[in-house]
Every structure is written in structure tokens, then in C-alpha cells.
Structure 1
Amino acid sequence: MTDLAHALPLRRPAETPARRLRVVEAPAQRRRPKLAYGVIAVAGAVAIALAQMGLSILTTQGTYEVAALTQQQRDLTYDKQILYDDVAGLGSPQYLAANAAALGMVINESPSYLRLSDGAIIGTGHAAADASAVDAINRGAVPNALIADTPLVTAPDATIKGVPLVPDAATEATGSTTPPPITDGLPTPATR
């Protein structure tokens, strides 16, 4: 083997340009940051935080208002349904018949009709008897729970059941018509 170091030609070192030294000027004095920039930055951060808090409070308040209005709307819907039921009961045939009976009106068993084309009377043409076969106050043909305890317009001390309104002892003591609360749990039937 031949010596490779002797076989390769020698390279000349690359010429480097000579460095020139120069005098550095005196460093400029470091400027102090202006206080105004720092104050503006901190004030901006505080303003952003306050705006976020204010928007959060307004959003929360709006949520509570929506919840309250939703509850109020639900209550008004229930009240509206109760009033519709009351009006339906007061417009029922049973209630109207009971009020008519309280006024002294009677039901004619053989009604007469007036034909409008020629003015002829169809039927017996006699007045109804003094007493009606249907007792609308004491015995309604179809019971109606909506008006069972509603006083009659023509006789405020009577209901469609015919029983005068007399407050119960429990109602007078508590001032409420609701049943007493169940403290022993739900009532269950006795089984064997």
C-alpha cells in the first residue's frame, strides 16, 4: 500500500481577508420605557375584564328574566284553561236548565212550534203545566262536575245539586277547601 498522504497534492490554505479593527462608538444610553405605555396597557386589560364581567352579569340577568317569564306564562296558561273550563260549565245545558228552573220556568212535555212560512202552530198549543217532569235543580239527568258546587245565578244560595251552600267545619277552621294533607303516605286499600 502506498502512502496516500504523500500521493495527494498539498492544498494551499485559503486566503482570509484581514480583519480590520475599528473603534466602536460609545453605546447610546438605554431609554427608559415610558410610563404612559404601561398605564395604557394595564387600563386596557382592566377595561376588557370589566366589559366581560358586565356582559356576563347582563346575560345571567336575562336568563333569570326569561325563566321568570316562562313560569309566568305557564301559570297564565293554567289560569286560562281553568277559566275556559268554568265558562264551559256555566254554558252547559245543566246549568242553564237549573237557572231556568230557579226562575220558575218549566219544561213543556209536548212542545209547540211556530212554522214561519205561514205562521201556523204545530203541536198542542197549550201552556205547560205548573210543574215540570224534569227536576233540573235536584236531579240532573247527566251530572256535571264542572258546576256541581257552583251557585246558581238566579238563586245564589243553591247549587245544581239543590243543596244550599253551607261551609264545612273543616273549611271554616282552615279557610281552605282543599283536602287535609296526607302525613302517613298515600292511602292504600286493605288486602288479604
Structure 2
Amino acid sequence: MSTAPAVHPLRRPVDAPERRLHAVAEPDRKRRPKLLYGIIALLGAFAITGAQMALSVLITQTSYDIAELTSQQRDLTYQKQILADELAGLSSPQYLAANAAALGMVIDETPAYLRLSDGAVIGAEEAAGTVSSVDAIGRGAVENALISETPLVTAPDATIAGDPVTAEEMGLAADTPLPVTDGLPTPATR
């Protein structure tokens, strides 16, 4: 057996690339970091931190302001309700009747009417007497708690609250109920 010599392909010689490196005559100075950039970065960080702190303080102060305004609103709502109750008491028929009685007005038990078609007076033609059948300033049938201590507009020293009449003052025994003369009696509680 014969052995054949190994055949290798021919290679072209490879051209060596040119080297781009060259010798430096004098090395460059070492560059220092710019001090101005560092100062600006630190000032920016401090500004952001300061802004966050200022916003936090403002938000906290706003929360306190909201809480205070809520408290004021609640107090004003209470005052509004108190004033509405006082207005309801002062516009009640009982208070208006007491003021009218203090002015000398009386309730006529026999009212008269004027017929507009011919101008005729129907009913009693005489005016009511000087004494009213209802005592609006004295002891009322049912005392109005909203205005019991409120002085009358027309008589500042008078109120609608009168002293309750007791059975002894009327000449009755202590266990005798009071007679009903002008409405339902109110119980005396102690």
C-alpha cells in the first residue's frame, strides 16, 4: 500500500495590519473632576430635600386648618339650630298672644264680621270688653319651654311663665285635683 502525501491548500500570506499606536511625547495632565458640577449636584439634592420638607409642613398645617374649620362649622351648626329653636318659640301663637295682651288687646268671644258686598256688620256690633277670656301673660294652659323665660317685646318685665296655681291657693284640699278652667292642667313635678 502506498501512502500518498497529504495535500494542503496553499495559503496566501496575510498582510499584517498597520499599527496605529504611536509614541506620545508628553503625557496629558490628569483631568480633575469639575468642582462646579459637584456643587450643583449637592445644591440640587438639598433643594429637593428642602422642598419636600416644606411641602410636608404645609400639608400638615392644612390638615390642622381643616380640623379647625370643621370644628367651627359644627359649632355654627349648633348655633344655627339654637337660633332656629328661638325663632320658632318667638313666632309661636302663644308668644304673639302674650305680646298682644301686654299691648291691651283682648280676645272677643263673639266676633263680628264685615260683609263686603253691602258693608253690613254681622255678629255683635259692640267691641269686646277690657277683660279677655284668655290670660296669655299669666299661667297658660300649656307652658312653652322655648319661651317660658323670654321677656315680652311689649313688656320687658313680664314673661309668659306664670306661677302655677296650687290647690291650697284655690281653697281646695291638697289631694284634690285642680279644676280645668282654661285647658289641660300641667302636673307639678319636683
Same fold (TM over 0.5): yes
Q: Hey, which of these two has a bigger chunk of helix by percent?
A: 1
User: How far did residue 27 of structure 1 move?
Assistant: 6.2
Aligned residue for 1:119, secondary structure, equals coil
Q: Do 2:140 and 2:162's aligned partners in 1 also have CA atoms closer than 8 Å?
A: no
Provide the secondary structure at the position in 2 that maps to 1:122.
strand
Q: Does 1:67 align with 2:67?
A: yes
Provide the alpha-carbon RMSD of the alignment.
2.6
Tell me the secondary structure at the aligned position of residue 113 of structure 1: strand
Structure 1 distance, partners of 2:53, 2:116, is 79
TM-score (norm 2): 0.69
Partner of 2:58: 58
Q: Is residue 37 from structure 1 mapped to residue 16 from structure 2 by the alignment?
A: no
Structure 1 residue identity aligned to 2:30: R
Q: Which residue number corresponds to residue 88 of structure 2?
A: 88
Q: Which runs of 5+ in 2 are unaligned?
A: 1-14, 164-190
Secondary structure at 1:84 match in 2: helix
Structure 1: distance between partners of 2:74 and 2:142: 33
How far did residue 147 of structure 1 move? 0.3
Q: Which runs of 5 or more structure 1 residues have no equivalent in the other structure?
A: 1-16, 164-192
Q: Which structure 1 residue ranges, 4+ long, deviate > 6 Å from structure 2? A: 20-24
> Match for 1:78: what amino acid?
Y
* C-alpha contact (below 8 Å) 2:114/2:120 kept by paired residues: yes
Render the CA deviation track for 1:130-156: whole Å, top value 9, x for unaligned: 211111111223321110110111221
Alignment of 1:1-192 (within 5 A): 28-162=28-162
For residues 44 and 83 of structure 2, what CA distance do their matches in structure 1 show?
Answer: 58
- Deviation, 1:30, is 3.1
Identity value in percent:
66
Aligned length: 154
Shifted more, 39-48 versus 103-112: the winner is 103-112
CA separation in 1, counterparts of 2:45 and 2:91?
A: 68
* Cα distance in 2 between the residues matched to 1:42 and 1:143: 79
